[in-house]
Structure 1
Amino acid sequence: MIRASHRWAGLLAACLLLALSLSGAALSIFPALEGLSSPQAAAALSTAELAGRIQAIYPDVEQIRRAPSGRITAYWFGSAGPQAAVVDPATGQGIASVDQSRFERWLTNLHRSLFLGDGGRMATAAGAAAMLVLALSGAALVARRAGGWRRWLAPMRGAGSGRAHAEIARVAVAGLLLSSATALWMTASTFDLLPDEAVTPAPQAEASGRTGMAVAAMDVLVRTPVSELRSLTFPSAGDATDVFTLKTDRGAGHLDRGTGALLAWSDLTGWQRVSETIYMLHTGQGAAVLGLILGIMALGVPAMVGTGVILWLAARRGRPRLRDNVPARRADTILLVGSEGGSTWGFAATLHAALTEVAGQTIHVAPMSSFNPALYRRARRILVLAATYGEGGAPASAGEFLDRLKSLPAAPGIPLAVLGFGDRSFPAYCAFAQAVAEAAEAAGWKTLIPFDTVDHQSTQDFTRWGRALGAALGIELELVHQARAPAALPLTLLSRHDYGAEVQSPTVILRFELPKIRLIQRMTGHGFGRFAAGDLLGVLPEGSVVPRFYSLASAHRDGFVEIVVKKHPAGLCSGQLFELRPGATINAFLKRSPAFHPDHSRAPLILIGAGTGIGPLAGFVRANARYRPIHLFFGMRHPDSDFLYAEELAEWQRDGRLRQLATACSRGRMPRYVQDTLREESAEIIRLVQAGARVMVCGGRDMAAGVSAALTDILATAGLTPALLKAEGRYAEDVY
């Protein structure tokens, strides 16, 4: 619900918000310029002195006003009609015209009403309301992405347009909330939907009828500093009963023109103070610095519109176009999809087509985030195809699904089938889909067929599940899925460095040339964007559309793409990679892995890996330009054959990028594993963790389990566990 309201409010209001934000940002400059260009009254100057000076220069003065910026303006009626001038408070002499520049008037009219009068004011109010919805929903999404409101300022994970969108929103959201809320208040005030905010003196005592007292001698004006003045209105020359009207920051009153006595006074009410504060916050009048800050924040809107549109287009590209996709209220089969990278949508399209053509069913396909059983009036079954994000998290199109499912007062009388998609080499294999199936079972939901999984986009797994589904439906359902190859680019091999032949564990470090990508390709997601060590390189082997993923050992700033590959018996992709020679090319693409990036703090970093797991860890050390304390624990078979990055690690130790290197060799006279090295350094590890260190583990599943067990024993004396560190965001794994 939050994501949908955020998306649609943004799309509908994008053009209007661009006009309002850009004009508002430009207008925020004028209060600051006005304050800088206007002569300021001395702190000790009284309103009486100021009025006397101005009246000496302009005997027919009718009113004096002081703007929040400190600018003093005098108004009078001369032979040429109404006149006004900005005056110097030191002399009372006019020094500048009060007229706005044509550009400022044009911007003001655009910002307030789009040049459309009252109708335009209503349109800008609608834009402000959309801005408020965007700011509130955006704040909730940023908090969710950061890991909660308390982690609002924590380093943001992710990359590309998604991260840029969130980072800009995190900075600008407070200003957008303030600007939109105050704009709605001012619009309501303009259309008399709020109480009158004018400062009106109480009924006055009877005037003396005398005239002639010098304004500079009036005691009330002598006691009123110019810094508190808002306006002083002079009485009509031909009316002896007319009075002076004084308005200040404290209130308003009337003064007898003949005696200077205070005839009436009213303090500002709480409502008036609130209204004036809101006006100041929105316009910057009286708070030029705040106005400039809000103006700068408003510039975040064009940036967020741009990155938001890119994200929306990327999401649409990830979904196939489905024919005969009926509305939810008319469908007899509801097919909900949870996908992160888009591949699960392809399987959903295959299932949709088969059920439509073979069984003649009416199908409604939608993201899991749109889950709403109240709409499924004719549904006879619900099918859920769900991938898993990171370490068991919900993918992008499945936000809030579990919360909605658990909040249902009763399980719908519609049977449910859940199919998980994942890669069995990862520890959290299909964990989110498993959580969905378990939550539905706990809620008493009927099961159409047992929970099942598809490993590594296996068409055979999908076909097998389809037959089980068909048997439950009483039809023959043969799902023939043709996976669509991801958009990939050719990478040219620059160099290779071979290891491990002596210990029957051939391993190679492959370095590829960084492809040249135009900015528009990178922004729209069609190119090879920026990446960091720990992200994944998807390699498409010849004769297959199913990619194999390798952790990157380099970052974009290094100027090359580097991976570490171990040759597996009968391995299609690793076998092809091992045959590469410099100048050869592969087809590959990037996949972000934000959960396995170092944070941006200066706390110690404990890196633990074995074998090819050294790849991203070496990339982290290489990128350590701030000389953060990094302690690397690396396990290998034999130092003479597979000490990957030996020369680079030695150099990084010399230049300070690597604080400690501890190695373990599983073959030789004294075999040890990396977890044995950890136990030997237990005192140092406890000290580092208590100092706020983050632990990052990369390598095989058995190694990761051994490391976790060792750290459990080591940290127990300090009252800590790997699970606790994970909950704090201080323990990350890249396990295969």
Structure 2
Amino acid sequence: MQITAEDKKVPPTYSRTNPFQAKVLKNINLNGAGSSKETRHIELSLEGSGLSYNPGDALGIVPSNDPELVASLIEKMEWDEETVVTINKQGETLPLKEALTNFFEITLLSKKILQQAAEFTDNEELKNLVLVENADKLKEYADGRDLLDMLRDFGPWNASAQEMVSLLRKMTPRLYSIASSIAAHPGEVHLTIGAVRYSAHGRDRKGVCSVLVAERVQDGETLPVFVQANKHFHLPESQEKDIIMVGPGTGIAPFRSFIEERAVNKAAGRTWLFFGDQHAASDFLYQDELEKYQQEGVLTKLDAAFSRDTEQKVYVQHKMDENSKELFEWLENGAYFYVCGDKTYMAKDVHNMLLNIIEKEGGKTPEEAESYLNDMKKQGRYQRDVY
């Protein structure tokens, strides 16, 4: 009997270009009443995907745009949503509405888009803005604005729907640190996503993927996903090693996966978590789980900082300072130090505090502290997942 390819049924490999449609099993808000934040805990099924991951890896989601924003664009330009447009060099086509919803990036403006769009209008202001000598003004305009702003600000336009979409970039997947261990949740992947909402330039703005997840994805529906390995952020190979984790806000995500993994493996190494957010009552993400791990001894130490509960704002780096002697002892004992979260402020403050602690507790000069930290980096003992 001859075995055909049909009989073998090779499972497809899912990737960035061929994402897996993962079913949403659970989607809840982790923040309590009165919080100014909305942080979603999402559980997705990977069943039948063949996908696996390690603690520290990220999950990519290929999002779709806000239907209200798409409708506003079509209305502004008086386009027919059924108009068929070519979306790429391969000549593939989609109806305009679907192309703007699922294929193109419409919430970000680039210098290139503005420069090319200037050819489709007689608007002097835009023609002036794209001049070489106005590069700074152009950058400033593009920052925090989207396609709808541009279309409203610089018309009238003499461009077809096809000419306009040809300016746009393909939708980029959004990457999120995985918040679960596959050993603890076989066939599942969990995420911790903060909904991004803000006002700028006279309009309310929404994060493309975070608000899709917060407002429009129900249990039972699917999200297109793929796993993105992160070789520079992972648990120590030895289960004997101590780990110190600093993860305020959604930066807690990979550390939930680290802790779950260590719980399953009954790791001997000690585990210390620094968590921070605004209010203890409403923003202590995964509090029950973390306290249970602490009672069970999986989490050796848990230090939480809530910046809005006291007159003086207390952040994770202040908690590190309060525990400086013990923290340095852990480092001297070979502990691995991890940071996840905001790159602009938090990660810098944590880095500087770490140097202070090494200097103060180790009796070192600033140069020696710097070199101590560099040695930790070389040994893979100082790892950051910042964004």
TM-score, normalised on structure 2?
0.61
Tell me the residue number matched to 1:63.
Answer: none
Tell me the residue number matched to 1:563.
Answer: 191
- Identity between Structure 1 and Structure 2 (%): 31
**Residues 199-218 of structure 1 correspond to what in structure 2 (within 5 A)?**
none
User: C-alpha displacement at 1:499, in angstroms?
Assistant: 2.9
**Residues 678-697 of structure 1 correspond to what in structure 2 (within 5 A)?**
678-697=320-339
User: C-alpha displacement at 1:492, in angstroms?
Assistant: 1.0
Aligned-residue RMSD, C-alpha: 1.9
What is the CA–CA distance in structure 2 between the aligned matches of 1:502 and 1:589, rounded to whole Å? 34
Whether the 8 Å contact between 1:628 and 1:657 is mirrored in structure 2 is no
1:215-254 CA-to-partner distances (Å, cap 9, x unmatched) read xxxxxxxxxxxxxxxxxxxxxxxxxxxxxxxxxxxxxxxx
2:302 is paired with a residue whose SS is: strand
What is the CA–CA distance in structure 1 between the aligned matches of 2:236 and 2:385, rounded to whole Å? 15
One-letter amino acid of the counterpart of residue 730, structure 1: R
Asked if 1:676 corresponds to 2:314, the answer is no
User: C-alpha displacement at 1:510, in angstroms?
Assistant: 0.7
User: C-alpha displacement at 1:554, in angstroms?
Assistant: 1.2
User: C-alpha displacement at 1:642, in angstroms?
Assistant: 1.4
Asked if 1:599 corresponds to 2:121, the answer is no
2:232 is paired with a residue whose SS is: helix
1:582-614 CA-to-partner distances (Å, cap 9, x unmatched) read 112100000100211011221210011110000
User: C-alpha displacement at 1:514, in angstroms?
Assistant: 2.5
Tell me the residue number matched to 1:536.
Answer: 58
**Residues 143-542 of structure 1 correspond to what in structure 2 (within 5 A)?**
486-500=17-31, 502-517=34-49, 527-528=50-51, 530-542=52-64
What is the CA–CA distance in structure 2 between the aligned matches of 1:540 and 1:698, rounded to whole Å? 22
Q: Which runs of 5+ in 1 are unaligned?
A: 1-313, 318-340, 342-484, 518-526
Whether the 8 Å contact between 2:195 and 2:211 is mirrored in structure 1 is yes
Tell me the residue number matched to 2:294.
Answer: 653
1:556 is paired with a residue whose SS is: coil
Say which of 235, 239, 261 aligns to 1:623. 261
Tell me the residue number matched to 1:732.
Answer: 383
What is the CA–CA distance in structure 2 between the aligned matches of 1:567 and 1:553, rounded to whole Å? 16
What is the CA–CA distance in structure 2 between the aligned matches of 1:628 and 1:618, rounded to whole Å? 16
Asked if 1:578 corresponds to 2:214, the answer is yes
What is the CA–CA distance in structure 1 between the aligned matches of 2:295 and 2:222, rounded to whole Å? 35
The structure with the greater share of residues assigned to helix is 1
What is the CA–CA distance in structure 2 between the aligned matches of 1:673 and 1:497, rounded to whole Å? 26
1:582 is paired with a residue whose SS is: coil
Tell me the residue number matched to 1:708.
Answer: 351
Number of aligned residues: 245
2:258 is paired with a residue whose SS is: helix
1:307-335 CA-to-partner distances (Å, cap 9, x unmatched) read xxxxxxx9xx9xxxxxxxxxxxxxxxxxx
1:455-489 CA-to-partner distances (Å, cap 9, x unmatched) read xxxxxxxxxxxxxxxxxxxxxxxxxxxxxx62100
2:358 is paired with a residue whose SS is: helix
Structure 1 residues 534, 707: closer, same or farther in 2, change over 3 A? same
User: C-alpha displacement at 1:703, in angstroms?
Assistant: 0.7
Whether the 8 Å contact between 1:532 and 1:554 is mirrored in structure 2 is no
What is the CA–CA distance in structure 2 between the aligned matches of 1:533 and 1:692, rounded to whole Å? 20
What is the CA–CA distance in structure 2 between the aligned matches of 1:669 and 1:644, rounded to whole Å? 19
Tell me the residue number matched to 1:444.
Answer: none
Asked if 1:552 corresponds to 2:160, the answer is no
Q: Which runs of 5+ in 2 are unaligned?
A: 1-12, 65-101, 104-170, 198-205
Whether the 8 Å contact between 1:635 and 1:666 is mirrored in structure 2 is yes
1:402-425 CA-to-partner distances (Å, cap 9, x unmatched) read xxxxxxxxxxxxxxxxxxxxxxxx
Whether the 8 Å contact between 2:179 and 2:191 is mirrored in structure 1 is yes
One-letter amino acid of the counterpart of residue 322, structure 2: E
What is the CA–CA distance in structure 2 between the aligned matches of 1:562 and 1:584, rounded to whole Å? 15
User: Which structure has the larger Rg?
Assistant: 1
2:196 is paired with a residue whose SS is: coil
User: C-alpha displacement at 1:708, in angstroms?
Assistant: 0.3
One-letter amino acid of the counterpart of residue 487, structure 1: N
What is the CA–CA distance in structure 2 between the aligned matches of 1:714 and 1:661, rounded to whole Å? 19
User: C-alpha displacement at 1:555, in angstroms?
Assistant: 2.4
What is the CA–CA distance in structure 1 between the aligned matches of 2:310 and 2:58, rounded to whole Å? 36
Whether the 8 Å contact between 2:23 and 2:220 is mirrored in structure 1 is yes
1:510 is paired with a residue whose SS is: strand
1:675-705 CA-to-partner distances (Å, cap 9, x unmatched) read 0000000000110000000100001111111
User: C-alpha displacement at 1:506, in angstroms?
Assistant: 1.1
Tell me the residue number matched to 2:276.
Answer: 635
Structure 1 residues 627, 656: closer, same or farther in 2, change over 3 A? farther
User: C-alpha displacement at 1:497, in angstroms?
Assistant: 2.8
What is the CA–CA distance in structure 2 between the aligned matches of 1:685 and 1:594, rounded to whole Å? 26
TM-score, normalised on structure 1?
0.32
Q: Which has the higher contact order (CA 8 A, sep 6+)?
A: 2
2:320 is paired with a residue whose SS is: helix
Whether the 8 Å contact between 2:280 and 2:309 is mirrored in structure 1 is no
User: C-alpha displacement at 1:650, in angstroms?
Assistant: 0.9
User: C-alpha displacement at 1:553, in angstroms?
Assistant: 0.9
